[in-house]
Structure 1
């Protein structure tokens, strides 16, 4: 058996899911080298949970979704190994990256956490620009040296007690399956960002609702060269801007709901 399949340091691969059929199959295949695979599912309705139950080596647990940080923190508590490889369901670890991960965790001089740069895929075509050129995320880390901060409920942030390094190989991110799927994700993220802002007592602003989405599109499509991605760039940049617009729409709704509740409970 090759060293790739028998790492000296054991790795727990963690994934959270909700309605991820079409993505999760490739993701699970790409982390089969890990010593355990734990998937926390938010009660999917598209067959994701049933599919995962049939996969060898996969321990799937259903847990109600509160927000991304809470769900990932719950998944982290289920892991039995110190080294954690935490992926989104639409991410894939290629063979070279698998080898780099195994080599890294077995290096006595390893850092406590590692950033991954990502290669974005629009369906099966690479997305070269549109604001994603410098995107990177913590995906590999020691459980004993890191935790997800509760200051953010979307685009969760890992707090690391120690050094963070960067792996050479890129993680493949299949960000775009189809228009409705990506639109749904952007609207969902926008609403969660609104809740995050509301909890921090940030207030709705009409000017921001107009300017921020426009800036998002202009920044990603013009300044970050989204136009070089052709039609793909227009679609991605528009839907990213739509997510920002939804954030302010939802923040407005939350403030109105809060005001109504306040007046109803007033003596």
Structure 2
């Protein structure tokens, strides 16, 4: 048995009609695919039902970490490939998985991402590498800020080939998601002790500098200005996301601070 035969893809879905077919297309090698869905109504489930390899489990959404941990409980293979529904394995990555042979010390593998805007690849992005492939027995998810993180027991190595991140859901959906993310991230930044925050998180917690810094960092350092309209779109997305977070932080501080009387001082 090859290594890839002992890997089960795990997907977390909710109304992913714009993405799901592209995510499933490179998974032809998988014998079984586990999907945790939180109540899709847009046709996502109809697409999933067409593939006999796919097992769909319904779970009301409470957090990404709990959705993923629930999904892990349904995996029977030794290894899991944990994917968001807007990920797409590149051909080189599939080829790499077919020749991969981990040592006993390996707990998982980390993948880097090529960020795409409607199929147009960007030179760079703020999207960090993630552990996506790991032994089921050595992984557990925890909530962190607006997202989640998997904790791995054992050695973690880097995969050479990338995964494409290409979310084509409507912009209105993205805007709504960013507001929820900003609310969760604000709680994380405010309640976390300073010594547990990275330098970037400390700057974001200040509020006002982050939107300006992120906008120009994406344009210049990450090369978005050279990516045409897709690059500008991404830069404005990141600017908007940071503005929302800054507003959320300022709103929480203002609402807790005692109001000054007119003429005081």
Fold agreement, TM-score > 0.5: yes
Gaps of 5+ in 1: 260-267
- Structure 1 residue aligned with 2:197: none
- Structure 1 residue aligned with 2:140: 147
Aligned length: 249
- Structure 1 residue aligned with 2:200: none
Alpha-carbon offset, residue 108 of structure 1: 4.4
Equivalent positions of 1:6-21 (< 5 A) are 9-21=5-17
- Structure 1 residue aligned with 2:199: none
Distance in 2 (alpha carbons) for counterparts of 1:191 and 1:101: 37
Root-mean-square deviation (CA), in Å? 3.0
- Structure 2 residue aligned with 1:247: 245
Alpha-carbon offset, residue 24 of structure 1: 0.6
How far does the alpha carbon of each residue in 1:94-133 deviate from its partner, in whole angstroms, 9 at most, with x for none?
33322321322x444672211111122111211113445x
- Corresponding residue to 1:96 among 80, 84, 92: 92
Alpha-carbon offset, residue 84 of structure 1: 0.6
Alpha-carbon offset, residue 7 of structure 1: 5.1
Are 2:67 and 1:79 equivalent residues in the alignment?
no
- Structure 2 residue aligned with 1:173: 165
- Structure 2 residue aligned with 1:35: 31
Deviates more, 1:49-58 or 1:135-144: 49-58
Alpha-carbon offset, residue 153 of structure 1: 4.7
- Structure 2 residue aligned with 1:262: none
How far does the alpha carbon of each residue in 1:70-108 deviate from its partner, in whole angstroms, 9 at most, with x for none?
22222122211120101111111233322321322x444
Are 2:209 and 1:217 equivalent residues in the alignment?
no
Q: TM-score, normalised by structure 2?
A: 0.80
Q: Evaluate the alpha carbon distance shift between residue 214 and residue 143 of structure 1 in structure 2; reply closer, same or farther with a 3 A threshold.
A: same
Q: TM-score, normalised by structure 1?
A: 0.80
- Structure 1 residue aligned with 2:42: 46
- Corresponding residue to 1:64 among 53, 60, 65: 60
Gaps of 5+ in 2: 195-202, 258-265
